[in-house]
Structure 1
């Protein structure tokens, strides 16, 4: 560790403050002007500056909540369930009891502290305990050790990482813009139909089945069992699927064997997530819709249509359930599908492929920069690496 760095604890360089919740049975405590945060609002905005909340409380509610006011530029730290997520307070605000937030003292910059916690989230998670949900205590937070440099060096680190974050944010905006353009073009193509375009039910186009309704026992080795939660954002996540034995795999596939170019569509929970199985599969499915098309152009067209606004609207009209939403196999089979001639299907597939390739490239760049940020921050926080003086000249000229 270089000269100028000192070892300390979070409790020595900040005041750790918890939160509280007013009684939800008293209407006068709610819908006021005081920002009151819950952990889910931080996990979705990790590393951001937060100045608003989904719900707000009144001054009377604040005085009867056990919450404490956090000044602007406090480090808001989640301490329950999702532990170790952070944001900066853009205004004076308070939180519920799922936080152990930090008010930095003069020896540390708030943003440096936030970056340090982001990089060391596993430390907070490892110190968490609890059976129903994990939680880290105030005393545990205060005892966590860290090394910090003098304020000028903290500022240099903060400025460098913030510049990388600005670039990542710009890439993310470009990515979202590309997705909007892609979806707008798809909608335009689908609504420009001619007289030879027609509506068919899904079962008129291909055989429609679903996966097993049984619950095979998890196995230490074998084959992945895919459920609706493993299908998200056009991707199939086999890493989070649990394994079933070869015997159960064979049994499940008697009902619903997945083949290359078949489509999978989520039927429970988050409904309508759809993918084409582009490679030879080696998994089984449970409570997932299986569209048995094996023709690549048709399968990809159906995937684009079901993922379009037109397709989503049709799916939403077929959803049932109150506590847990689902679409039944019967309703999936009669889902109306706009069905153009094959040459038009191919034109739509080719156009969307161009957009999707560009989006994929942009996503790869953003992922690489995020990984670079993590490595850079780790090096800078180790105290073993120094930002070169040339960086200061660049920042001064900016």
Structure 2
């Protein structure tokens, strides 16, 4: 610890106030002029400060809820569901019981406190207790130790952190935009290829080029944690991916009749048939590449003839052309959407010679591989920038933070249309 720094408990250098919720069925408590925020509201903030809230309460509602009004420049911290959302309030504010307001003393800079808590979210979460959901008590929060340098040093640290984080956030935004551009590059090309084929070439119903098989209704009581056959369920399927480790279940033995209905074979294309109505959060397709998979209910398998490449259909199934046909047959309630087998068999696909299918698949494979490389670069860059933030915060509260000049280039990252920029952020 540097000379002149002290270690204090948070309760010694701040006042911690509780929130509360007025009774929701009493109109006199609601829709007035006192800002009132919840952990969920904090989690939706796009910036570290808050000057407005979705709901407001009355002075009477504040009194009846036993909540306290936090003065401006307090740090609002969610202390359950989840622990760790943070904001500095720019207007007087109260909260529900899932938050605390931390009012720093004159010895403690508000933004210094904010950054300290941001650095220590994992610690705060580890101090939470509770069976249904963890909650951080006022007592535990008060006992958290915080390094306290002289106020001018706190303000110097905050100034450096502000500059560094502005640059990091800008670099991260650039990387996120480049990641989006990379994905859109492939999607745009894919869409264009199949729009041309669908408009200009012969079409056939899927029933003319493939056999469609419905999933088998297994008894959940027969599932085991391991066994010969893995049962592929809705949660295991994402576009182009089988997530084997997503809540895996197995069946060790199955009679021949059930096995003949449920056993998938390599090159089957499977498609999920249930999700949220009007959300298109299903209809995911993937090609089976392994043996010993069983097909569960609400997933269908499409087994193509030798004249139709499963890979060609897989790419087609990711286009809006196919999705528009598939979801046109959606049924179900507001909460749940379902698509039946007929929606698959009656959907049309471009019908072109096998060699032409192979050429298109090779071209799409090559472009997809390149865009996936770009995506991996951008995703790593985003992760590295988050790690850089953690590193800077670690140094800040160990008294090791230096001047930020040249720390991060706001233009770090690159566009898919340009050559890779090898320069990475220089650590502060």
Coarse TM-score class (shorter-chain normalised): 0.7 to 0.9
Question: Corresponding residue for 1:83?
Answer: 83
Deviation for aligned residue 1:98: 1.9
Question: Corresponding residue for 1:241?
Answer: 247
Change (3 A) 1:323 1:156: same
Change (3 A) 1:133 1:186: same
Maintained 8 Å contact 1:47/1:114: no
1:207 aligns with 2:222: no
**SS of the residue 2:338 aligns to:** coil
Question: Corresponding residue for 2:377?
Answer: 361
Maintained 8 Å contact 1:9/1:143: yes
Question: Gapped runs of 5+ residues in structure 1?
Answer: none
Question: Corresponding residue for 1:96?
Answer: 96
Question: Corresponding residue for 2:421?
Answer: none
**Distance between the aligned counterparts of 2:286 and 2:52, measured in 1?**
40
Question: Corresponding residue for 2:199?
Answer: 194
Aligned pair partner of 1:370 in 361, 386, 389:
386
Aligned pair partner of 2:172 in 146, 168, 173:
168
1:322 aligns with 2:327: no
Superposed CA deviations along residues 252-287 of structure 1, whole A, max 9, x for unmatched, are 976544555544544444541625357547766655
Deviation for aligned residue 1:4: 3.9
**Distance between the aligned counterparts of 1:13 and 1:163, measured in 2?**
31
Question: Corresponding residue for 1:272?
Answer: 282
For the pair shown, the structure with the greater C-alpha radius of gyration is 2
Change (3 A) 1:153 1:302: same
**Distance between the aligned counterparts of 2:324 and 2:30, measured in 1?**
35
Superposed CA deviations along residues 334-363 of structure 1, whole A, max 9, x for unmatched, are 462543536365355655554444334322
**Distance between the aligned counterparts of 1:202 and 1:106, measured in 2?**
75
Change (3 A) 1:81 1:319: farther
Question: Corresponding residue for 2:347?
Answer: 336
Question: Corresponding residue for 2:234?
Answer: 228
Matches within 5 A, 1:1-398: 1-26=1-26, 35-45=35-45, 48-53=48-53, 55-59=54-58, 63=62, 65-89=65-89, 91-149=91-149, 150-151=153-154, 152-192=156-196, 193-198=198-203, 200-201=205-206, 205-210=210-215, 213-216=218-221, 227-231=233-237, 236-242=242-248, 244=250, 246=252, 255-269=261-275, 271-272=281-282, 274-277=284-287, 280=290, 286-287=296-297, 289-292=299-302, 298-322=309-333, 324-330=335-341, 333-334=344-345, 336-339=347-350, 341=352, 343=356, 346=361, 351-374=367-390, 376-377=391-392, 379-380=394-395, 383=398, 386-388=400-402, 391-394=403-406
**Distance between the aligned counterparts of 1:311 and 1:61, measured in 2?**
56
**Number of residue pairs matched by the alignment:** 393
**Distance between the aligned counterparts of 1:34 and 1:203, measured in 2?**
65
TM-score by length of structure 2 reads 0.71
Maintained 8 Å contact 2:79/2:99: yes
Most deviating of 82-91 and 280-289: 280-289
**Distance between the aligned counterparts of 1:273 and 1:392, measured in 2?**
48
**Distance between the aligned counterparts of 2:84 and 2:96, measured in 1?**
15
Deviation for aligned residue 1:194: 2.7
Superposed CA deviations along residues 122-179 of structure 1, whole A, max 9, x for unmatched, are 3333332333332222222222223344402344345434432332233123323444
**SS of the residue 1:97 aligns to:** coil
**Distance between the aligned counterparts of 2:257 and 2:339, measured in 1?**
22
Deviation for aligned residue 1:380: 1.6
**Distance between the aligned counterparts of 2:166 and 2:111, measured in 1?**
9
Most deviating of 75-84 and 37-46: 37-46
Change (3 A) 1:6 1:174: farther
Change (3 A) 1:67 1:267: farther
